[in-house]
Amino acid sequence: MSVGVLALQGSFNEHLAALRRLGVKGMEIRKAEQLEHVTALIIPGGESTTMAKLAEYHNLFPALRDFVKTGKPVWGTCAGLIFLANKAVGQKSGGQELVGGLDCTVHRNFFGSQLQSFETELSVPVLAAMEGGPASFRGLFIRAPAILEAGPNVEVLADYSVLKDKATSYKSSAESGEEQTVSEEKVIVAVKQGNLLGTAFHPELTADTRWHSFFLKMAGEAGDQSSSCSSMAEEDLADCQQPRPIDLPIFQ
């Protein structure tokens, strides 16, 4: 198994370190031709506009889109999630180019500026069922995006409740004598759709490697399915649907 990590900007070194802890050597990806040598790809967190400009400069977008279309697993964290979304809102003037593939609408800076970065415990029942360990994961949100809408084929792996002020402003509520009301709004922060995985937070900045192990199993299943399908007769390909899990370390 060969896992590439897009190394234009951001936390690619932290992803490489997490892969090493699981016994997998990652490959830094900076050129389109390097994608031919990996079976899976991680697009790390960072500054999405800067990453997009560098990817455009190196003519990486066509190769990244082709990689997604091959069915090889791709995981985007934070800025990487924005890259993989079919639609992004809240962008800077002029917007940015996207790779696409995830049937989602992502808000680029949903949680605010760097000063609004935070940590929280997320409920992750699917991750815990697959990888063991606790039923929660410590999510690190750094100038993070959020998924506002997800298509019917998108599996939600984690969400987060945000307090939303229903009043137009505190001042107007006070002047009118109305009581200010606050409600909870759930936004999606982790999804899976076929060969694509997206997290709005940064698992690579924690000691918990369960998300990386989860992704490696996606890569292993894709490789097993591809190799077994290629050896089958064309009329039997329709039966090649069930992936074969591989053994990887789980969170202790």
- List active site positions: 78, 202, 204
Q: Which residues pair with 206 in a beta bridge?
A: none
Q: Which amino acid is at 127?
A: L
Rounded Cα–Cα distance for residues 101 and 49 (Å) = 19
3-state secondary structure the chain: CCEEEECCCCCHHHHHHHHHHCCCCEEEECCHHHHHHCCEEEECCCCHHHHHHHHHHCCCHHHHHHHHHCCCCEEEECHHHHHHEEEEECCCCCCCCCCCCEEEEEECCCCCCHHHCEEEEEECHHHHHHHCCCCEEEEEECCCCEEEEECCCCEEEEEEEEEEECCCCHHHHHHHCCCCCEEEEEEEEEEEECCEEEECCCHHHCCCCHHHHHHHHHHHHHHHHHHHHHCCCHHHHHHCCCCCCCCCCCCC
